[in-house]
């Protein structure tokens, strides 16, 4: 399988052929690749499919015939403009072949989205969350009911749903779909796999939101640059602090993780964190941490459960007007982030670009000084130079794209095989 002229980048283990791989495994990989290219590039003609995958014309013919038989793809005939003769045939993923549900749990609402097999969103609604009054059991019951409604609204059956992908801030179990700690429910664990055990054969996944943002951003950058991204970190700024890290290994496989950056120990400064510990990065750099320092209340004051953006804007305005404590609060936040990132870069042994996302990006003018200072204090940055910083203001679409790409990649490997 020749990947060199292809814009497609293998994302999963086993998608590349090893010399010892059996014919069957190669066929499965190739058909997964064809499905992936059709999803990321949209409907393609036979020749374009061949050049985008790097597969021979004969191989593409065999695979598309098989995928048509499995009703995963369909052909569309387009009349050739200005010519007589044969219509142009495009291969496309068949929308109804499978459906995926993506759920984003945030501090104020839960957003439910339904996407078809092409990855197009076909329905979405949002439900406000009762601030702090709902028990985990009540939350899971409402969650389950909302999924039923989403399925019914599109006149689908539960068996049409191939995957349910859930994201939240907090600490997710890597195996299984269990939320171990979240800003909303604290240490009361939420077991989604168990709560949805009667939901047909759908695969249930739970991700930290920053992992999905990083995954989707890598795909976007690869598409615009037409070359693989070797490494990328994304830092999400808001009430919580999140980090995602994507690293490509020598085999070309991209590993995306969301280390527990917000609750990494930053300093023995006595600042109380929402997680119950003291001195976490979030206790300095999360919105509630900035608020606490700006209002000069004791560092061990119990964190505000939610700080409206308008309140943060007020503090920022005061800081820009030269109010000392407000200015200092943002600078301390930047410093905690910069020092945390320099530690992460030292551990990764690599200076990777860092994309900053989330509502906190609107305060970059106030955070940058501390951030640069924190980065520059490390030997890693002094020797290897400061990382490139990208500001990405929008997060919601990235979360959705991450959900859908991961779900459909997995489904393709199963169905296409
Ligand atoms: Zn913490």
| CATH value at residue 277 | 3.30.420.40
Report which of residues 204 and 130 the model is more confident about: 204
Ligand 1 midpoint to CA 344 (Å): 17
What is the extent of the structural domain holding 62? 23-93
Pair (218, 356) in one structural domain: yes
Q: What is the pLDDT of residue 83?
A: 62
Position 5 in a domain: no
Pair (183, 124) in one structural domain: yes
Position 383 in a domain: yes
Confidence of residue 414 (pLDDT cuts 50, 70, 90): confident
Position 12 in a domain: no
| CATH value at residue 68 | 1.10.10.10
Ligand 1 midpoint to CA 155 (Å): 43
Is residue 242 pLDDT above 50, yes or no?
yes
For 339-355, the pLDDT digits (tens) are 999 999 999 888 899 99
Pair (286, 349) in one structural domain: yes
Pair (246, 141) in one structural domain: no
Pair (375, 228) in one structural domain: yes
Ligand 1 midpoint to CA 276 (Å): 6
Compute the average pLDDT of residues 88-107.
94
Pair (238, 385) in one structural domain: yes
For 40-78, the pLDDT digits (tens) are 889 999 999 999 999 999 999 999 999 999 999 999 988
Pair (184, 233) in one structural domain: no
Report which of residues 129 and 333 the model is more confident about: 333
Ligand 1 midpoint to CA 389 (Å): 25
Decide which of 56, 72, 93 is a domain's last residue.
93
Report which of residues 22 and 365 the model is more confident about: 365
For 301-321, the pLDDT digits (tens) are 999 888 999 999 999 999 999
**Mean pLDDT, rounded, of the chain:** 90
Pair (269, 358) in one structural domain: yes
Beta pairing class for 254-257 and 99-105: unpaired
Number of domains in the chain: 3
Backbone angles phi, psi at 19, to 5 degrees: -55, -30
Position 326 in a domain: yes
Instruction: Name the residue among 350, 343, 337 with its Cα closest to residue 231.
Output: 350
Ligand 1 midpoint to CA 271 (Å): 10
- Is the entire prediction scored with pTM above 0.85? yes
Pair (407, 368) in one structural domain: no
Position 247 in a domain: yes
Position 1 in a domain: no
Position 231 in a domain: yes
Ligand 1 midpoint to CA 109 (Å): 22
Is residue 6 pLDDT above 50, yes or no?
no
Compute the average pLDDT of residues 351-372.
96
Decide which of 93, 112, 132 is a domain's last residue.
93
Ligand 1 midpoint to CA 192 (Å): 23
Position 297 in a domain: yes
Q: What is the pLDDT of residue 131?
A: 64
Ligand 1 midpoint to CA 284 (Å): 10
Ligand 1 midpoint to CA 274 (Å): 6
Pair (125, 85) in one structural domain: no
Pair (107, 249) in one structural domain: no
For 243-253, the pLDDT digits (tens) are 999 999 888 88
Is residue 178 pLDDT above 50, yes or no?
yes
For 374-409, the pLDDT digits (tens) are 999 999 999 999 999 999 988 999 999 999 999 999
Pair (120, 67) in one structural domain: no
Ligand 1 midpoint to CA 285 (Å): 11
Decide which of 39, 66, 93 is a domain's last residue.
93
């Amino acid at each position: 399988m020749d990947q060199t002229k292809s814009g497609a980048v293998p994302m999963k283990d086993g998608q590349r052929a090893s010399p010892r791989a059996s014919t069957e495994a190669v066929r499965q990989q190739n058909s997964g690749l064809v499905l992936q290219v059709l999803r990321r590039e949209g409907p393609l003609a036979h020749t374009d499919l061949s050049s985008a995958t790097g597969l021979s014309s004969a191989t593409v013919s065999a695979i598309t015939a098989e995928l048509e038989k499995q009703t995963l793809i369909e052909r569309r005939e387009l009349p050739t403009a200005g010519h007589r003769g044969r219509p142009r045939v495009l291969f496309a993923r068949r929308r109804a072949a499978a459906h995926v549900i993506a759920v984003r749990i945030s501090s104020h609402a839960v957003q439910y989205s339904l996407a078809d097999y092409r990855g197009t969103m076909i329905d979405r609604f949002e439900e406000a969350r009762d601030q702090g009054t709902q028990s985990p059991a009540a939350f899971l019951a409402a969650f389950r009911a909302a999924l039923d409604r989403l399925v019914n609204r599109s006149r689908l059956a539960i068996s049409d749903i191939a995957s349910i992908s859930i994201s939240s801030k907090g600490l997710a179990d890597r195996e299984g779909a269990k939320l171990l700690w979240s800003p909303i429910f604290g240490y009361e664990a939420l077991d989604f796999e168990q709560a949805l055990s009667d939901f047909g054969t759908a695969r249930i996944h739970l991700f930290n939101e920053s992992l999905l943002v990083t995954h989707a951003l890598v795909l976007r950058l690869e598409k615009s640059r037409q070359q693989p991204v070797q490494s990328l970190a994304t830092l999400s700024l808001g009430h919580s602090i999140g980090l995602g890290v994507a690293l490509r290994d020598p085999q070309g496989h991209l590993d995306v993780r969301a280390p527990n950056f917000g609750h990494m120990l930053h300093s023995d400064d006595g600042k109380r964190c929402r997680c119950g510990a003291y001195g976490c990065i979030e206790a300095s750099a999360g919105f509630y941490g900035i608020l606490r320092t700006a209002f000069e209340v004791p560092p061990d004051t119990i964190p505000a459960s939610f700080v409206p953006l308008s309140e943060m804007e007020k503090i920022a305005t005061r800081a820009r007007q030269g109010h000392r404590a407000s200015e200092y609060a943002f600078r301390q936040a930047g410093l905690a982030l910069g020092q945390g990132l320099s530690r992460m870069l030292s551990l990764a042994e690599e200076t990777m670009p860092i994309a900053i996302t989330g509502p906190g990006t609107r305060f970059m003018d106030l955070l940058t000084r501390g951030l640069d200072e924190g980065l520059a204090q490390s030997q890693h940055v002094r020797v290897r130079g400061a990382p490139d910083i990208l500001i990405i203001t929008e997060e919601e679409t990235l979360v959705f794209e991450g959900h859908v790409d991961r779900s459909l990649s997995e489904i393709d490997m199963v169905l296409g095989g």
